[in-house]
């Protein structure tokens, strides 16, 4: 939707050319984390294991219902879960039953990875159209086929980093790239300063100087499109 503004995501006009982004910028910080990384504004999950990475789109919490950023641990795994709607959800939806057994009506889908903090979990869904949207009460939803693959790859005790990074940076060779997503909770007070500080962290170890196009960056911040853009260069002696 970000890459194709103005196009109905449910019924695209017949014959209309649509851009489907396939490239993903993976920050160095993500790659160094051994386990699962969930970047909330990006609505994407990464699982790093040895020299491979599994990447999947996710559905995240509605406004004000995002999980806290930080490190969690997978403490339990369950196939064909029973869902017990918590009081907070039953208050919003009083017609919900107290217990939802496994099956097609279970909003958790067929597989669940329970996290160590709060009532949060990574699970499937019976509403596939909710993926890539703000559609949950705080949990992380995946497509049924993605959670099934993840469920059998991830052992108990795996660490999970939940982070909030709408603006991702990476350096490849002497080129600097950015990938921008909406700051969905308006947490970044000064996006340009946020980006410059991240870039300083990336270059401080090498002591390299750099040149960036501030006008280009501001353009992407104003209209984040989820695509990867070159914004500058490393200046070598």
118: confidence class by pLDDT, cuts 50, 70, 90: confident
Percent of the chain with pLDDT over 90: 76
Question: Is 90 exceeded by the pLDDT of residue 89?
Answer: no
CA dist 174 to 123, 171, 204, Å? 39, 7, 15
φ and ψ at 49, to 5 degrees? -140, 115
SS3 per-residue string spanning 61-128: ECCCCCCCCEEEEEEEEEECCCECCCHHHHHHCCCCCCCECCCCCCCCCCEEEEECCCCCEEECCCCH
Q: What is the pLDDT of residue 7?
A: 94
Q: What is the pLDDT of residue 47?
A: 98
Name the segment(s) of the chain with CATH classification 2.40.440.10: 28-163
From 137, 139, 211, 229, active-site residue: 139
The DSSP symbol for 7 reads S
Token couple for 164: 């909030």
Most confident of 21-30, 128-137, 154-163: 154-163
Q: Catalytic site residue 22?
A: no
Please give the order of strands across the beta sheet that includes 209-212.
167-172, 175-180, 228-235, 209-212
Q: What is the pLDDT of residue 50?
A: 84
Find the mean pLDDT for residues 70-75: 97
Find the mean pLDDT for residues 3-28: 92
CB proximity list for 91: less than 8 A, separation 6 or greater: none
Mean pLDDT score of the chain: 92
- Strands 134-136 and 159-163, how do they pair? unpaired
236: confidence class by pLDDT, cuts 50, 70, 90: confident
User: In this structure, which topology does domain 28-163 adopt according to CATH?
Assistant: L,D-transpeptidase catalytic domain-like (2.40.440)
pLDDT digits (tens, 9 = 90+) for 179-207: 999 999 999 999 999 999 999 988 887 77
76: confidence class by pLDDT, cuts 50, 70, 90: very high
How far is Cα 237 from Cα 235, in angstroms, rounded to an integer? 7
Task: Give 93 or 6, the one with higher predicted confidence.
Answer: 6
Q: Catalytic site residue 139?
A: yes
pLDDT digits (tens, 9 = 90+) for 153-175: 999 999 999 999 999 999 998 99
Find the mean pLDDT for residues 60-75: 94
Residue 151: strand, helix, or coil: helix
Q: What is the pLDDT of residue 237?
A: 62
Closest CA relative to residue 138, chosen from 122, 151, 125, 149: 122
Question: Is 70 exceeded by the pLDDT of residue 138?
Answer: yes
pLDDT digits (tens, 9 = 90+) for 29-51: 999 998 999 999 999 999 998 88
């Amino acid at each position: 939707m970000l890459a194709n503004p103005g196009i109905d995501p449910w019924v695209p006009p017949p014959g209309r050319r649509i851009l489907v982004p396939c490239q993903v910028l993976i920050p160095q910080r993500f790659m160094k984390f051994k386990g699962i990384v969930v970047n909330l504004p990006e609505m994407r999950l990464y699982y790093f294991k040895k020299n491979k990475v599994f990447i999947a789109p996710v559905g995240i919490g509605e406004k004000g219902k995002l999980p806290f950023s930080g490190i969690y641990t997978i403490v339990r795994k369950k196939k064909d879960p029973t869902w017990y709607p918590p009081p907070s959800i039953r208050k919003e939806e009083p017609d919900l039953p107290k217990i939802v057994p496994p099956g097609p009506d279970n909003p958790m889908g067929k597989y669940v990875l329970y996290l160590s903090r709060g009532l949060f979990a990574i699970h499937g869904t019976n509403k596939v159209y909710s993926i890539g949207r703000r559609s949950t009460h705080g949990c992380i939803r995946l497509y049924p086929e993605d959670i099934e693959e993840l469920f059998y790859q991830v052992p108990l005790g795996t660490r999970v980093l939940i982070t909030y990074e709408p603006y991702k940076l990476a350096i490849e060779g002497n080129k600097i790239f950015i990938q921008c997503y909406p700051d969905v909770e308006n947490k970044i007070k000064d996006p340009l300063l946020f980006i410059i500080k991240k870039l300083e962290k990336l270059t401080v170890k090498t002591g390299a100087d750099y040149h960036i196009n501030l006008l280009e960056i501001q353009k992407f911040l104003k209209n984040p499109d989820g695509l990867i853009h070159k914004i500058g260069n490393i200046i070598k002696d």
